Chains A and B, each alone.
Chain A
Amino acid sequence: MSSMSSWRLNILIVSIIMVAAIIISRLFYVQVLNHKLYEAQALGQQIGFQEIVGNRGEIFSANSKENRGVYGSSEVKSLALNAPVWTLYAMSDKITDKENFAKIIGEKIKQSKESVLSKIQKTDSYVLLAKNIPNQEVESLKQLDIEGLNFERSWTRYYPQGHLASQVIGFLGGDNNGQYGIEGYYEDILKGKRGIAERKRGLDIINSSNDQESLDGSSLYLTLDYNIQFEAESLLQEAKKNIDIDSGQIIVLKPDSGRILALANFPSFNVNEYSKESNFGVFQNSVIQKIFEPGSVFKPFTMAMALQEGKITPETTFTDTGFVKIGPNTLYNFDKKNYGEQDMSGILEKSINTGAVFLSQKVSHATFFNYVDRLGFNAKTGIDLQGEVSSRNSVLKNASDFVFATSSFGQGIEMTPIQLARAFGVFANGGKLAKPYIVEKIVHDIDKSNTKPQVSDQIISEKVASEVTKMLINVVDRGFGSAAKIDGYYLAGKTGTAEVPYENKKGYYPDKTIQSFIGFGPALNPQFIILVKLDNPKVPKSSLSAAPIFKKLAQYIIDYWQIPPDY
């Protein structure tokens, strides 16, 4: 009996050992010899791979401390967002009561009952009902819990401010490429990247990590001050109503850094409905893409050249006879008046053309051209917006005495509004130019990079800048620019009413003018530069059109920033 038991035990032990050996050898085969095959099969079951595209970066107006000083608002406003939209499908074979379905859905998606009915009565089981349905509509549809109705989500670019800063922001075209403005210039930075996403399934989801690099595009924070931008655009709309301008632009920037606070254009367009625009010209940002002859707003530059070269002093006198002869041509003052003896400030105060010719004749053509070049009128400003153009003043290099004479008061010389605004900063910034920029901060995940302001070397001396500033204060206090005067504040500025040259031939339109006013304030501690440019307003001169708009905007900024009065 005992030997029998021992025999059974031995069999059991041997069997266990054999089974263990089989299992171990099988494990060796699977885990050692063929591990790669089974590892791949397991990965296939546990992890899924999917091609994805990161979201496009968004655009905000930051209203940062650098913009607003101590008291301004710091609210961040969204200018371009990614918003969810839905596509609606019907699965016609799952709809029980098609009449009722068509009635309810038709009302919700603003289609006739018949139209919906005709779609769902087709033999196709999967029917497209509507595209681009906003989220709110879909939420209410989901609550109805209708059988046979399906939803598919996608993303669209949404511009919540509509018309505001439309030419500055640009838009996302049908091919998903940014066009115009910020959307165009920063396309590579805003665009989401393509990549493969790893999605773990089953229990392996526990081991998921979030250390994958984000494929989303970077978001941009602009230097634009939302409130000033809105006010500037409102003023242009008002100008259309009151003085019937064809178009107009306003630039507001910080003179010490070149930060753009507002770039307003009229007319503008609703960015969300850009495809409905038939006039593609409206997409262009005239501030950086349209060249014009500035007229008398150029005179302070001519004054600065003569002062800097030591050819005159502010006390130098000049006697105006009402005209000046240059070869066979005669140049007159804008109002055909004779102002008699004037000091240098008087030339700017009364905007005397013959006085500007007097100043230009004090410097050589080469010196004049050199200053035009150094003030940046021959090159792009480098502002971070798509499609900037620059003037072609290189023809001035070998121009006649007459062309130099007219250039001294801003006719025959050309520039973009942004070139003019940047150059005018030379008076507000102690003789230095600041490069204009509009993107303050680029944010990608937790990384952010801030734009550093770029300021040029001395173009004119601080003394000359200060002397011209005093003359410009006089222009506003007692000269042609008095419509821009604000009680309690010293503002420096200059009016300009320029003739408009024909596009394809020599000469100027007899009935068209460009009226502008450029200035800065407070003049003794400049915090903003404003350029107001109005194309063909139905008043004779800029002191009746652009200067009052400058005043309103300057007053708005002074109140908004709570700038204390000078006196």
Chain B
Amino acid sequence: MTTLVLHYRAVKHKVRSLSLLVSYFKKIFIVAFFILSILLVFYIFQINRLTTGSYMIKNYQKQIQTLSLENNTLQADVAQDSFLGNVKEKALSLNFEKITKVTYIQILDSSIAKAD
């Protein structure tokens, strides 16, 4: 009788611990699955951000290249247009005359009010 009781208790304990493991495993599985899902969403979100970022960087690099090329061209154009020989010709065609005499006005110290 005693032996049977003992055997029953042992089996009962075994069954209990197994059902505990199963129940924990389910919880762990659900939690793990949940975390994995979150991580996956987060990963997709991050990859998306990275892709957008790298696309933008590429785009900006292209724009920088285009702008610096334009800058070079403009620099050359401006330099050519501001060449004094062209300005001189333009001034002559507009009937501008060269200044031949500059007169300086002498201002005496006493004629100016000082703002101390």
A78 touches B57 (CB 8 A): no
Is the interface on chain B under 10, 10 to 19, 20 to 34, or 35 or more residues?
20 to 34
Distance in angstroms from A116 CB to nearest chain B CB is 25
> Given A81-B75, A564-B104, are A203 and B51 also a contact pair (CB < 8 Å)?
yes
Q: Complex Cα distance A203/B53, Å?
A: 8
Chain A residue numbers with a CB within 8 Å of B82 are: 75, 77
B-contacting residues, A38-96, CB 8 Å: 75, 77-78, 81-84
Q: Complex Cα distance A161/B54, Å?
A: 42
- Complex interface bits, B57-84 against A, C-beta within 8 A gives 1, otherwise 0: 1100000000001001101101110111
Chain B residue numbers with a CB within 8 Å of A143 are: none
Let me know if A202 is at the binding interface, CB within 8 A: yes
Distance in angstroms from A487 CB to nearest chain B CB is 9
Let me know if A185 is at the binding interface, CB within 8 A: no
- Complex interface bits, B79-107 against A, C-beta within 8 A gives 1, otherwise 0: 11011110000000000000100101000
Distance in angstroms from B79 CB to nearest chain A CB is 3
Chain A residue numbers with a CB within 8 Å of B15 are: 2
Chain A residue numbers with a CB within 8 Å of B58 are: 205
Let me know if B22 is at the binding interface, CB within 8 A: yes
Number of residues of chain A lying within 8 A (CB) of chain B:
32
Let me know if A180 is at the binding interface, CB within 8 A: no
Distance in angstroms from A133 CB to nearest chain B CB is 13
Contact of B79 among A5, A161, A205, A564 (CB under 8 A): A161
Central interface residue in A2, A75, A83, A565, by most chain B CB within 10 Å: A83
Chain B residue numbers with a CB within 8 Å of A9 are: 22, 25
Chain B: CB-nearest residue to A6: B18
Chain B residue numbers with a CB within 8 Å of A161 are: 79, 83
Q: Complex Cα distance A224/B116, Å?
A: 40
The prevalent SS among residues of B at the interface is helix
Chain A residue numbers with a CB within 8 Å of B102 are: 559, 562
Central interface residue in A161, A227, A564, by most chain B CB within 10 Å: A161
Chain B residue numbers with a CB within 8 Å of A5 are: 22
A-contacting residues, B23-81, CB 8 Å: 25, 47, 50-51, 53-54, 57-58, 69, 72-73, 75-76, 78-80
Chain A residue numbers with a CB within 8 Å of B80 are: 160
Q: Complex Cα distance A83/B69, Å?
A: 8
B-contacting residues, A142-192, CB 8 Å: 153, 158, 160-162, 164
> Given A81-B72, A84-B72, are A208 and B79 also a contact pair (CB < 8 Å)?
no
Q: Complex Cα distance A233/B80, Å?
A: 18
Let me know if A206 is at the binding interface, CB within 8 A: yes
Q: Complex Cα distance A83/B80, Å?
A: 12
Q: Complex Cα distance A158/B77, Å?
A: 11
> Given A6-B18, A77-B82, A81-B72, are A206 and B53 also a contact pair (CB < 8 Å)?
yes
A205 touches B57 (CB 8 A): yes
Q: Complex Cα distance A81/B25, Å?
A: 74
B73 touches A135 (CB 8 A): yes
A81 touches B76 (CB 8 A): yes
B69 touches A84 (CB 8 A): yes
Contact of B76 among A158, A203, A565 (CB under 8 A): A158
Distance in angstroms from B102 CB to nearest chain A CB is 5
A206 touches B50 (CB 8 A): yes
Let me know if A230 is at the binding interface, CB within 8 A: yes
A208 touches B57 (CB 8 A): yes
Q: Complex Cα distance A84/B72, Å?
A: 7
A203 touches B72 (CB 8 A): no
A83 touches B72 (CB 8 A): yes
Let me know if A226 is at the binding interface, CB within 8 A: yes
Contact of B84 among A78, A81, A230 (CB under 8 A): A230
Chain A residue numbers with a CB within 8 Å of B76 are: 78, 81, 83, 158, 160
Chain A: CB-nearest residue to B49: A206
Q: Complex Cα distance A394/B82, Å?
A: 47
Contact of A78 among B47, B75, B99 (CB under 8 A): B75
Chain A residue numbers with a CB within 8 Å of B75 are: 78, 81
B-contacting residues, A77-122, CB 8 Å: 77-78, 81-84
Q: Complex Cα distance A83/B74, Å?
A: 9
Chain B: CB-nearest residue to A60: B79
Chain B residue numbers with a CB within 8 Å of A6 are: 18, 22
Chain B residue numbers with a CB within 8 Å of A203 are: 47, 50-51, 54
Q: Complex Cα distance A284/B24, Å?
A: 94
Q: Complex Cα distance A78/B74, Å?
A: 12
Chain A: CB-nearest residue to B22: A9
Distance in angstroms from A159 CB to nearest chain B CB is 9
A77 touches B54 (CB 8 A): no
Q: Complex Cα distance A562/B22, Å?
A: 99
Q: Complex Cα distance A227/B82, Å?
A: 12
B-contacting residues, A1-59, CB 8 Å: 2, 5-6, 9, 13
Distance in angstroms from B66 CB to nearest chain A CB is 11
Chain B residue numbers with a CB within 8 Å of A82 are: 72
Chain A residue numbers with a CB within 8 Å of B47 are: 203
9 smallest A-B Cβ distances: which pairs? A160-B79, A78-B79, A83-B76, A135-B73, A230-B84, A205-B54, A160-B80, A203-B50, A559-B102
Besides A203-B47, A203-B50, A559-B99, 11 other A-B contacts (C-beta < 8 A): A77-B82, A81-B72, A81-B79, A83-B76, A84-B69, A135-B73, A136-B73, A153-B69, A160-B80, A164-B84, A208-B57
Would you list 11 pairs from A and B whose C-beta atoms are within 8 A, ordered by A residue?
A: A2-B18, A78-B79, A84-B73, A160-B83, A161-B79, A161-B83, A162-B85, A164-B85, A203-B54, A226-B84, A564-B104
Chain A residues in the interface with B (C-beta under 8 A): 2, 5-6, 9, 13, 75, 77-78, 81-84, 135-136, 153, 158, 160-162, 164, 202-203, 205-206, 208, 226-227, 230, 559, 562, 564-565
